Chain A
């Protein structure tokens, strides 16, 4: 509390007369207001979710399936497992491809060649494409090759396409920050470029890549739109049995519950939201931990 007071009082005690004018202080107040508004919104959202959902933060939420018959005991088990399956699929598809593409673009591609320029522009465009379009792409793709649209694999592909640009970009940033000396030393010792990358550059860049990958996956975890397009709103009361099985995810389940008017579903939706937020915070915390602990300081 004392530090907040200090922060607030600092400009008022400003040495320069110019910072104590009415307009300056009014300006600063507006800035505080803006910041306070943002933080207030976050606070209200969290508090409101917690108040609504705290009665349902019980073991049933984790172990039971959603229920028509007993909405008070509805649970998110199918959604949690579905999310786990889909995110795992996404990770397996997107991370190796993303790292490979990022490594190529950063280490080997000559930026003056036209095709590499095209890839550059392309990547920044892809990162801004609305998520639902990736769902449409996957739907079209699934149709073309005769794959069912409502299965885990299709969901994994859609989300992998969504996060691929992000992983590529963060791989590039991580690889770029590895100093050239490391590479030169390795080459001087007789390693081939690929060996250099595999044994020196990449391991050095792993913390940055891991951070980027975790943040990308946490984004995928929270996405519902592309998956809605593939499978629609499905009332699912079973665990996914494999890549070929139907599924639902936490965001979809929350969307489903939010559309039901009964109070019991509202409460369980709030509880599921708390669950999701906790998991997301955890993922973000892990990413920050990795970054702080393992980041190499050159």
Chain B
């Protein structure tokens, strides 16, 4: 074709002084002088293909029709490892294209030399390559990460990444594949703008807490809106989503991107779509994983001897005349190990918990389809086991065994050429068996169990040879916790299900107006939960009549009347919920030369009904109704503008306040597409600025049980307000329940609104490094809060609330990506992200404090207020001569607080803001991936900063209510012999010492950490070998999570924060296999 041209212009195909640059089919060409590479002439040659003649007035111009310029291009597409099948190769600006075959090859006719081919595949960075005289184009695709995807799912549609005005982050599905059955655990550090952390490792209870750009409201709902295929679902539903099924995962952060969700988007939106079938042979994918998990850190307890010694000290140090619990003789004999039944020394932890546990996950999906219908069907099975031991004498399993099943079927039917119907059916089911109290409670019970009072159980003796039950140990009246008995006495089943059905109808209305389409979607979901416990009341025995000389003892039952050998039964709470949702939308999308125009109008309604609300007003349906819209305009891929709005109604408000209008707008400028930028483009491949501004509403204000602010709520049958009279049978047999006002009406209460601003800068360098930095701020107004100026003498039984609070938030999200292929066989990518999100009270109604430092204004919404602990009192005398502390008895060795206002007393007025907020302000993550031939390796680090948490001084108060002694406390506490005023734990006490358990800086700890979140090592079978087993993909991998943790805090896994005595966060070693067949 080029040769044809040369021949035509210069008369010779072999020699021509000019070079040509060809663009589209109706092409104008520049004549470029060879050698100089500069434009020497702009004269145009115009050729009329119909008459095959030059236009008379411009004899040197040429025009060719597309037909003439047809050309065949061929090539092979591969990634760093191997050839790639199924890569789409499309001529840019058209829909024309092919996909590569099994050996990665493609053949494509292009219209002319100026054509540009776009190579794309999910999970890979798209590449555009100009044909420019080439006949063979071989491409190596590089795996993509979030910021590079071409198309981004946005509210009610998709936009090209390069056209985005709003702030949307995506997480690549690859990053979501972590060795856990809980998707939310994968979120931390993966995307800029998300603050996430995980407080528990218990299967079924291990959802991470996550916030989009932090918390900026003091209402009850602080978590983002979660939409899966357009359906609003809960965090647990997101947690159970299979990463294999996810096609896209977007997080919308600013006003423009969330405005279409009007009422519900103020805390950000997480939008997930699942995979759809594509035309082609059916493809089968299979993933199998087996992992071993073990706690990252164990809380270390003091040994039994130390426990007894310090317990005695705890009594005597407070009351020298007190009676100690453990006589010297008991301690001596326990040390000697004389008779472990009589002198028990229990390591409850060892008795209850295993060192590690094994979990399995499997996922299978089939997709494919023909011209009429395409399908994506998947099923998955996850089995998570707890770390609890099981007593073989029982034939039931009291360990946690959480089985989670998912079935998903997405079917697309092409009803007519312009009508498409999509049916999505999805069921998600959890079947759980586990200890009656749950795993975390078992950990807490161990913490509250006396290690030396009695053994877990007594061996059967002659006296009790006929009993069939386990003879559990206890003491006194049997009111002590025997965690072993509590764990093995029975088991609990729970069952959670979620059924979703969705019908989506798409109608292309190009016939009416070009670029117009219509879509309607209806979905409903039903969720349910119930639990059933089966257990016996354990027989408790206590030791009596131990005879030292003969070393014999007797055991007596304590609870003959209440204990059972047979199982009892108890039904737990049940929840049943249904949701109905409908949305209809008109969509317009058209390109007029350089002008891109799109419009969207959505109508939506949603209803949620709860079966066991517990109250008439709560039982009424929750409803939202709204119209939203979006209009975008772009010019020449350089200038972009977007306007969105949500007009929403919520049933919670009085009729006049019911609807809120939330507009927003934004602009973007792709500087790198400007003509003047051309020279820089090889270096700065992308430079873009974005700015948005807008309003978002929130109707999830106050508390979830506080609905219909315009109505008073009265409990007309309140048992707590009952009175009884009469002298008949019973003491006062005539009882009438009373009336309680639980809410005073206020018709003025309305939406909380957020005014959000977002500024973003995108930079791409050398096509390898991309940086995206965003700055945002936000003002929340009309936050519902309790009027604090109303004195108690008013006698109100419910708080009076009003939309008076204001808060601000601001922060930065930065993400960076780097990728490079060093050769066809070696590739490298690295990325990192950083999120800083802070908040402040701006208007907070509070009493007029005399002490200005008590005001919350200007402090973070998650700021803790407490006392400043100076140190421990040296002795009683110092305590007596210091400002009076008002919490309970105290003396030497107890915490000395700072009298901030110097009034001689420690009261609430001495509480100041202490530490960092309780929700971290900084989250970051970074990692790299490396591929060499068939091997790949990746590592990912994640960290938090600017967070404080508090060791729970009540839960860790040794000896109070038989609480165990932390080893760390036993090694550092104030004692009369060793008056360490900076010891970890104050003077021992056998009860909870209220003076020492106030919220103060004493137990405040820095929550920041950096952890090696995940490393993975994978091996993909080379194509040749794959073909031999007829697989299209075969990869085995090993990964591990939470391998290393860098933190100043050592008592337990710092990520658990104040919840450290619960079920520990787990370290997981995982082996997996990925297998696909085409």
A joins B in a complex: no
Q: Spell out B's residues near A (CB within 8 Å).
A: none
